[in-house]
Structure 1
Amino acid sequence: MSDLRKSVLGMHAKRSGLAAASKQDFTPVKWTEYFDSEEKIQTEHGNFHLFSKGNEGPILLCLHGGGYSGLTWSLFAAEILKVIHCQVKAVDLRGHGNTTTNNDYDLSLETLASDVVEVANYLIEKVGTPIILMGHSMGGAVAVEAAYHIKSVVGLCVIDVVEGTALDALSSMQSILRGRPSHFKSLPHAIQWCYKGGQTHNLEAARVSMPGQIVNMKTNKLAADECDDIDMNNIELTSSSHRELVASSYTLTEVAEESDESDEAKCSDCGKPPLPKSQKTDVFKCPNNFKVKDDGPQYTWRIDLSKTEQFWTGWFKGLSQKFLDIRIPKILLLANIHGLDTTLTVGQMQGKFQMQVLARSGHAIHEDQPHNVAEIVSGYLVKQKLAEPKSDFIQPPLPSC
């Protein structure tokens, strides 16, 4: 576990030198670069927002992890549509993104799964095609639960969540959440933290995904909706290629580095991050020639995950056995083989599911390695005859089982 305790700022030094840093672009990218459309689905409990790409084949209903939004699937959606016929539907779960409900902080597993069932039933009635559930972290647990209640579910993909390791790490989750910045001075500031802090190791993913996780403190508008009209008055270009800005307490925190065994850093939503040993404010180095006026915080998190602690255990308790018992084709993608618990290890040996480990990836595997995840998932769906390949499809090596 010690290899996960990395300095938030130190991560960048291992990726590149200062020359490379000065060329990095932390401006946001609009969701329209990856998805075709967005829509709201009204249910008894709220209006659920989702992004869509593709118009034929089975529906891949994608569920994000805690604190993320449907935009976390942007790069994956663009990649998988290149090789198979399918429709990607990425929903903002309750309390996240642009979804609004009667109680945004009721994140119990039962409520989240019920929401997904309602959305899935609407899509089935409207489109009439089978559903393949994909879930990352918290969303993986929700996908497993919802799969038992959706008749048209034909496949299940769970990304980087395992009951044993998730439950073991819950005791340190509040400390992990407190270690994140509570506010950001600007949208590029937030994107830079997302990338340099290791929430994603893919800068392109950070540029499209992070705006879906924060809101403007003055307007309460989701930052993703401001990508076309960013307040550039709050950002000044400087002649210096690498300015130092002194960070205030709401800007950035640094976690003391213990080991350089791994380049991984984990996100705050499910399970894997360890307890930071120490925290301190530090100088915020702002590449890409940005100088942010110190007008105070402009953005904060869409949802305060620390207020949902009462639901955390319920997300993961019994997850492994429920995953094994569901009788549909299923695949598990992990960032680290050592995270596999006893129940899943036995199930894997018995061939009850397919598994693939993607090394050199952080917790958000589908953001860090969207091409590889799309290749694995598409190959698996074609193998199971759940989706049709496109003309340039090449069958990848089958996942280990």
Structure 2
Amino acid sequence: MDPSNLSSLPEESSEENQQQTKKDVSAFSSIPARPPTNKTSSQKCSPLDWSGYFDKEDDVCIPDSNDVFHVYMAGTQGPVIFCLHGGGYSGLSFALSASKIKEKMRVVAMDLRGHGKSTAENDLDLSIETLCGDVLAVLKTMYGDSPPAIVLVGHSMGGSVAIHVAAKKALPTLAGLVVVDVVEGTAMASLIHMQKILSNRIQNFSTIEKAIEWSIKSGSLRNTESARISIPSTLKYDDSKKCYIHRARLEETEQYWRGWYEGLSETFLSCSVPKLLLLAGTDRLDRTLTIGQMQGKFQMVVVRHTGHAIQEDVPDEFATLILNFVSRNRIGPHGVEIPGIRRPSQLQP
């Protein structure tokens, strides 16, 4: 959830709204006029199927519970890039990136509880403890006691979950941590505005195409192709209202928000695996991380010309950054290879 990307936009522009727009400075005023196209607005915003990007989907049933987590998978070899989406998004947020990353390694993108196609006994329990438990349970169910090398990748709220999972040291083959556009200082400062932001966004849509169009026009996503894949999975049809509404009921989970981000910078720095922080702007870096970055405790890349959802807005660049991170840190099928340090199997008896 990011204040700059959830601005309200009328579904239909009235004459009054159009007049007001002329008076205000528009964020889109500098964009040159595009040539006319034969496609209608509905065609340009029609949904795209996940199968063009991921190889398969599956439901992971957690033993001794009624929780079922939906995952999308791609690739057949190499370490597993395990992706955790932000609040209000879904695993399909990583679809375009996955289609590139899978050429070199495996990708698993999970729908967190209360999101996408996952179902849990309590969809509203988004406490950091519960979310971390869900991730560990999914990994345990999928891979048992012999998991492959795993790189946790988390965007926004999912970045917080990835950090806390890594800090627990409960994954013996955790080989890397990538956090996408979430910093404690900025996140904590924005929490006081979140209820207003959530309430001001459009709450229902007559069609999925309208929702996709809104996500682009409001600026929450900047890549139309990615929006056409990911946005449908963030909605559900309300029979009583005869319209589509947001799947995640984030406005009802306020009690957990501080827990996502409080102490996040120190926790991130405490994680012993190689770390990469991707930011959409340098203003998001707080004091603790600035000092840590100067001390070389993690790699940081500022990705230009993108919004909050870096993995959706510039998927090719995002995929390249992930692949380079894995290569640079020698993350292979069996874990992390550190130059100069021999593995136990290489030692003489």
Normalised to the residue count of structure 1, the TM-score between the two structures is: 0.73
Q: In structure 1, what is the equivalent of residue 126 of structure 2? A: 107
- Note the C-alpha offset of 1:26: 0.4
Residue 326, structure 1, aligned to residue 271, structure 2:
yes
How far apart, CA to CA, are the structure 2 residues paired with 1:366 and 1:190?
20
- Note the C-alpha offset of 1:217: 1.2
Aligned ranges 1:161-172 → 2 under 5 Å: 161-172=182-193
Match of 1:377, SS state, is helix
Residue 350, structure 1, aligned to residue 295, structure 2:
yes
Deviations 1:202-221 (A, max 9, x none): 000100000010001129xx
Deviations 1:234-270 (A, max 9, x none): xxxxxxxxxxxxxxxxxxxxxxxxxxxxxxxxxxxxx
Q: In structure 2, what is the equivalent of residue 291 of structure 1? A: none
From 152, 168, 178, give the equivalent of 2:199: 178
Aligned AA (1:72): S
Q: In structure 2, what is the equivalent of residue 365 of structure 1? A: 310
Q: In structure 2, what is the equivalent of residue 40 of structure 1? A: 59
Aligned AA (2:60): I
Taking structure 1 as reference, are residues 156 and 4 closer, same or farther at Cα in structure 2, changes over 3 Å only? Answer: closer
Aligned ranges 1:2-401 → 2 under 5 Å: 8=9, 10-11=26-27, 14-15=30-31, 17=33, 19-20=35-36, 23=39, 25-43=44-62, 44-45=64-65, 46-82=67-103, 84=104, 86-125=105-144, 128-147=147-166, 148=168, 149-218=170-239, 297-387=242-332
Q: Where do 5+ consecutive residues of structure 1 fail to align?
A: 220-295, 389-401
Taking structure 1 as reference, are residues 121 and 156 closer, same or farther at Cα in structure 2, changes over 3 Å only? Answer: same
Q: Where do 5+ consecutive residues of structure 2 fail to align?
A: 11-25, 334-349
How far apart, CA to CA, are the structure 1 residues paired with 2:9 and 2:135?
34
How far apart, CA to CA, are the structure 1 residues paired with 2:252 and 2:37?
36
Match of 1:376, SS state, is helix
Is residue 28–residue 188 contact of structure 1 (8 Å, CA) maintained in 2? yes
- Note the C-alpha offset of 1:81: 2.2
Deviations 1:85-118 (A, max 9, x none): x110000001111111110000000000010011
After superposition, the CA RMSD in angstroms is: 2.3
How far apart, CA to CA, are the structure 1 residues paired with 2:164 and 2:52?
32
Q: In structure 2, what is the equivalent of residue 227 of structure 1? A: none
Is residue 205–residue 367 contact of structure 1 (8 Å, CA) maintained in 2? yes
Q: In structure 2, what is the equivalent of residue 273 of structure 1? A: none
How far apart, CA to CA, are the structure 1 residues paired with 2:8 and 2:33?
16
Match of 2:253, SS state, is helix
- Note the C-alpha offset of 1:382: 0.4
Q: In structure 1, what is the equivalent of residue 347 of structure 2? A: none
Match of 1:155, SS state, is strand
Aligned residues: 310
- Note the C-alpha offset of 1:12: 5.2
- Note the C-alpha offset of 1:7: 7.7
Match of 1:100, SS state, is coil
Aligned AA (1:367): E
- Note the C-alpha offset of 1:344: 0.3
- Note the C-alpha offset of 1:19: 4.0
- Note the C-alpha offset of 1:152: 1.7
Is residue 184–residue 297 contact of structure 1 (8 Å, CA) maintained in 2? no
How far apart, CA to CA, are the structure 2 residues paired with 1:74 and 1:16?
29
Match of 1:181, SS state, is coil
Is residue 136–residue 165 contact of structure 2 (8 Å, CA) maintained in 1? yes
- Note the C-alpha offset of 1:363: 0.3
Aligned AA (1:368): D
Percent identity reads 41
Normalised to the residue count of structure 2, the TM-score between the two structures is: 0.84
Select the structure that is richer in helix.
2
